[in-house]
Amino acid sequence: MKVCRTIAEVRAELAPRRSGSIGLVPTMGALHGGHLSLLRAARAECDTVAMSLFVNPAQFGDERDLDAYPRDETRDLEVAAEAGVDLVFAPAADEMYPPGFQTWVEVTELGSILEGRFRPGHFRGVATVVLKLFTIVCPTHAYFGQKDAQQVEVIRRLIRDLALEIELRVLPIVRDADGLALSSRNALLSPGERERALALPRALSTKDPEAARALLAASNGVVVDYVERADFDPPVLAGAVRVGSTRLIDNVILEGDNA
Ligand code: AMP
């Protein structure tokens, strides 16, 4: 597995592989079973698998949130190698945002609702870094998790609006046995907080916004940002809560079979 720190290295490494399919799995690291499911799908479907490992400062509104984000590059590289990744792109921030950087991509409407309302600028950071990763890697396929349903919707719109020649692959949410969706942020929860966090998947499993809000309102130590039906493809009941200083998001599909 090749680990690249610069855009030039990625391009040189991928140049001889362009005749085959290239799958890109964008991640912020602290890899878990959710990431693994994306990597496995990419490995099964593509000739070359590239994974990016970049905690994107532009999608964090709060410096403390960015600083607290879990990082373990050594372990992530082991997990990626084990999953059969061919190339990891793990750039420093100034490789992605060189001095004077001022070009941003904004998916205006989709980026401003739900998560966008509580995290202004978040999807601008996501769309910009994902488009830049797309132009660096030029993947034929890109892999994202349904866990971040609004992110999927934003990327789908970006691909359509800018006529990118990339097949978007969306994989189902991977959960722990108790129902909590796997997330790098779960590592930040104390045992008590983790127990309280279970209120979110339990509430969403009602698939009813009113019932979900009522369940969460009755849960101690859980602050609700929103629980709303979102008319995505497929439609979901999406929620975001804060447990202590950790913010968690989750969703359930309301129609179709991709639960
Ligand atoms: P992140 O490292 O949190 O930016 O996530 C990288 C990718 O993994 C995104 O496409 C996420 O939607 C996806 N992902 C994160 N958690 C899960 C999960 N529990 N199940 C499925 N996909 C996930």
Q: Decide: 182 in ligand 1 pocket, CB within 6 A.
A: yes
Q: Which of 228, 234, 236 is nearest to 256 (CA)?
A: 234
Cα(15) to centroid of ligand 1, in Å? 28
Predicted confidence (pLDDT) at residue 259 exceeds the cutoff of 90? no
What secondary structure does DSSP assign to 182-212, as a single string? P-GGGGG--HHHHHHHTHHHHHHTT--HHHH
Instruction: Give the residue numbers marked as catalytic.
Output: 35
Taking CA atoms only, the protein residue closest to ligand 1 atom 5 is 27
Q: What pLDDT score was predicted for residue 257?
A: 52
In tens, the pLDDT along 72-106 reads: 999 999 999 999 999 999 999 999 999 999 999 99
Q: What pLDDT score was predicted for residue 256?
A: 66
Taking CA atoms only, the protein residue closest to ligand 1 atom 13 is 145
Q: Is 0.75 surpassed by the pTM of this model?
A: yes
Average pLDDT, the chain: 97
Q: Decide: 38 in ligand 1 pocket, CB within 6 A.
A: yes
Confidence grade of residue 158 (pLDDT, cut at 50, 70, 90): very high
Q: Decide: 150 in ligand 1 pocket, CB within 6 A.
A: no
Confidence grade of residue 189 (pLDDT, cut at 50, 70, 90): very high
